[in-house]
Amino acid sequence: MSVQSTHSPRGPISGFHSQAAYEIPPEDSNAILRVSAYRRIDFDLAVIWFSPHTHTKMLTSTLPTSNKPTATLGELDRLPLELVNMICLEMDVASLLRFRQTNTRARQIIGVLHEYRTITTHAINPLCALLRTGLASGITLSDFYRLLCTQSCSLCGSEYGDLVHLPLWIRCCSSCLRQNSPGIRVATLTTVKRTLKLSRKSLGQLPKLTTLPGIYTMDERPRSKRVTIVSTASALSACREEHAGVEASQDMIKQLSTQPILAFMACCALPSFDLQTGQAQNGVSCAGCQVALEESVITFTGAWAGEIRDAVYSHDGFLEHFTRCEQAQLLWTGSNCGTRPPPKLPYSCQKGGFFKRRE
């Protein structure tokens, strides 16, 4: 499902963008990212998030084994290893982890899979989210890896997708989430039943997520009760199928969209893995844009000022932004080309946003 982008314009803004594009020497790229960009940790904390302590058991259980197998996999071991690997890639995550617990031989086979190792190294948070919300049986290992190797938001198509929307298993960006994009709205299963009157068969086929207790949204709203939610896009599609293509009424759609917080409870931060470099990256935001707001360089406060500051970029996307962002360039020059901290780096950029740290 696609929606028209409502993100901030990318055209030059007087008094904010430099008149001429800054030419970045290739050897300075990493230092510019270190000095002028920062990760908005609060965007990660506004959705499903786990303390690093929570990962201890998971990380231990996913480590490759060095023990020598003492038992085989029976008939499965008679197949060529390449075929066994292909079978593992098409297993859903829940089945794969159960298979891995069979014996040392199973752990050995799965532990050397590039896709499995990449996921357990770089995407442990969304892996935990799938398992704990009950969606792990609907996503295969190859599904997970393919999404990990993408970058763009599936909704607007123009932004770096720093999040995964779990029920639809698509990338989305924090901006689409904050703007309550129709493509990632969710509703409780109870609301869907009451509003759309779907058959038991249709309801049974909808991917269901059981929410987790935590703190959600940019207002840091705590939620302790667990509820079952489904994608409104999936529910409306099922409704069309049951009624020979007839769309749900606007009143029905409105009734399904009364709790925007639920969309935050259906998302989790997801890095992106670059197949060419073999490196993973998280999205970054521009410290120069924060300076521009704090020092009133951006004089307009209504249209797009917050969105410009809150934009999340891939590393390449940020470097392209940097070539025109005057305040980011000033941070770079103020750092003596990366040899010292810039003198005007805002405190919010130093700590990764505006939320208090959580453990």
Q: Are residues 117 and 198 in the same domain?
A: no
Residue 21 in domain = no
Residue 163 in domain = no
Q: What is the average per-residue pLDDT within 231-242?
A: 96
Q: Are residues 35 and 58 in the same domain?
A: no
pLDDT of 107 > 70? The answer is yes
What pLDDT, on a 0 to 100 scale, did the predictor assign at position 294?
86
Residue 106 in domain = yes
- Tell me which H or E stretch contains 175: helix 174-178
Q: Are residues 60 and 128 in the same domain?
A: yes
Residue 248 in domain = yes
Q: Are residues 186 and 253 in the same domain?
A: yes
Among 283, 285, 282, 294, which Cα is nearest to 347's? Answer: 294
Grade residue 236 by pLDDT with cuts at 50, 70 and 90. Answer: very high
Pinpoint the alpha helices (H) of 183-314.
189-196, 200-205, 232-242, 250-255, 261-264, 287-294, 305-310
Residue 157 in domain = no
pTM of the model: 0.90
What pLDDT, on a 0 to 100 scale, did the predictor assign at position 58?
63
* Cβ atoms of 282 and 324 closer than 8 Å: no
Grade residue 211 by pLDDT with cuts at 50, 70 and 90. Answer: very high
What pLDDT, on a 0 to 100 scale, did the predictor assign at position 2?
35
Q: How many domains does the chain have?
A: 3
Q: What is the average per-residue pLDDT within 312-340?
A: 94
Mean pLDDT score of the chain, rounded to an integer? 90
Q: Are residues 189 and 242 in the same domain?
A: yes
Q: What is the average per-residue pLDDT within 63-71?
A: 65
State residue 88 phi and psi, 5-degree precision: -60, -40
Which of 148, 167, 188 is the last residue in one of the domains?
Answer: 148
Which of 267, 296, 329 is the last residue in one of the domains?
Answer: 267
Residue-number span of the structural domain to which 210 is assigned: 177-267
Tens-digit pLDDT profile for residues 3-28: 334 455 455 666 577 778 889 999 99
Q: Are residues 30 and 53 in the same domain?
A: no
What pLDDT, on a 0 to 100 scale, did the predictor assign at position 6?
45
Per mean pLDDT, which range of 27-36, 187-196, 293-302 is the poorest? 293-302
